[in-house]
């Protein structure tokens, strides 16, 4: 059993190292708004949460959804409507967005998990497009205009979110809670079954797991967390538009996740930051944004297929951390 104790000790060392990295990351995020434009940072955090929620499905269950924009944009609409028309507080508005995304996730997931691989992906795309068309036609979304001028309001009735720093720390808190939930799901007995489904679906069935139920549960969880990101975004930017439900948005989250590293917890965060930063800085330059991100995406896929963080884990540094709870 000496082996076991040694590996436990190594694991303990790793946990402290991981802890240190996490604390440094959180410290940086707390200091960041004093150096960077808070709205940009909030955008990054919203998309990072979106990408992590998406990765829960792609990286840990092996289902590629091309319809996550429906949950992201849908939640943005629901939250915006609830806050602006019903006068709900921002935190309740976001919960309305999460609830809406959960219901959408149940519907789309119910059909998508019936097939595998590309067929499942196409079902998510088709249903998301239907939802996108619904958003174009429905009266509460105001068509091409979207829902504009959503009030940020007061969090819990007394924290004024119109103050940029208040808003930022609220977003940061929601982001950290969201990431914690995802981390917990991945590193749970349930997460273990998801991984086994990803690894070998037929084998999981032959061990007696009703795989469809686990897939649907993962799909709904991913949709709900995506809704959290979408609702948050509606409060931050104070609008909800068709952009967020369009298929390009679904594509963008795939891009972010692949760039950062599928099946790693923090990869999508870096992927989202990279894409958002590129869009931000290239927007004012002469270069066309989509061409540049396209080239970067190609280079990434060709040169480091595991994504930025995935390559890091596979490197010598990462090898030392072999027993990471993420794998």
Q: Which chain residues interact with other proteins by CB under 8 A?
A: 7, 184-185, 187-193, 195-196, 199-200, 202-211, 217, 221, 323, 325, 327
Shortest Cβ 216–other proteins spacing (Å): 12
Residue with tokens 């989509």, as numbered in its chain: 290
Name which of 92 and 217 has its Cβ closer to other proteins. Answer: 217
3-state secondary structure at position 179: helix
CA distance 92 to 90: 5
- What's the token pair of residue 140? 């509460």
For the bound state, the minimum distance from the C-beta of residue 176 to other proteins, rounded and expressed in Å, comes to: 17
204-231 burial by CB neighbour count: b if 16+ within 10 A, else e?
Answer: beeeeeebeebbbbbbbbbbbbbbbbbb
Nearer to other proteins, 11 or 154 (CB): 11
Write phi, then psi, for 221 (nearest 5 degrees): -60, -45
Q: Which is nearer to other proteins, 41 or 185 (CB)?
A: 185
- Write down the H helix ranges in the chain: 2-31, 38-61, 68-84, 90-112, 117-137, 164-186, 189-199, 201-206, 211-237, 247-260, 267-283, 289-303, 307-314, 316-320
Give the nearer residue to other proteins in terms of CB position, either 212 or 289. Answer: 212
**Between 190 and 297, CB nearer to other proteins:** 190
């Amino acid at each position: 059993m000496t082996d076991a104790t040694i590996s436990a000790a190594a694991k303990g060392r790793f946990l402290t190292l991981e802890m240190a990295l996490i604390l440094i990351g959180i410290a940086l995020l707390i200091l960041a708004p004093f150096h960077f434009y808070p709205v940009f940072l909030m955008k990054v955090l919203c998309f990072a949460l979106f990408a992590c929620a998406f990765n829960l499905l792609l990286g840990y269950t092996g289902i590629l959804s091309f319809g996550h924009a429906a949950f992201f944009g849908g939640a943005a609409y629901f939250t915006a409507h609830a806050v602006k028309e019903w006068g709900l507080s921002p935190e309740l508005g976001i919960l309305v967005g999460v609830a809406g995304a959960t219901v959408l996730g149940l519907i789309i997931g119910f059909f998508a998990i019936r097939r595998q691989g590309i067929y499942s992906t196409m079902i998510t795309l088709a249903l998301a497009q239907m939802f996108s068309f619904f958003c174009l036609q429905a009266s509460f979304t105001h068509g091409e205009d979207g829902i504009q001028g959503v009030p940020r309001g007061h969090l819990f009735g007394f924290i004024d979110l119109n103050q940029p720093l208040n808003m930022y720390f609220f977003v940061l808190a929601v982001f950290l809670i969201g990431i914690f939930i995802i981390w917990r799901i991945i590193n749970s007995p349930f997460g273990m079954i998801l991984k086994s489904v990803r690894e070998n679906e037929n084998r999981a069935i032959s061990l007696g797991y009703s795989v469809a139920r686990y897939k649907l549960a993962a799909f709904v969880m991913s949709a709900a967390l995506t809704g959290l990101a979408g609702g948050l975004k509606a409060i931050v930017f104070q609008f909800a538009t068709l952009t967020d439900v369009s298929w390009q948005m679904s594509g963008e989250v795939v891009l972010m996740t692949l760039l950062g590293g599928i099946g790693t917890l923090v990869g999508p965060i870096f992927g989202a930051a990279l894409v958002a930063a590129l869009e931000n800085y290239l927007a004012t330059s002469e270069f066309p944004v989509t061409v540049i991100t396209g080239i970067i995406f190609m280079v990434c896929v060709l040169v480091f297929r595991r994504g930025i963080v995935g390559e890091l884990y596979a490197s010598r540094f990462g090898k030392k951390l072999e027993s990471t709870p993420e794998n």
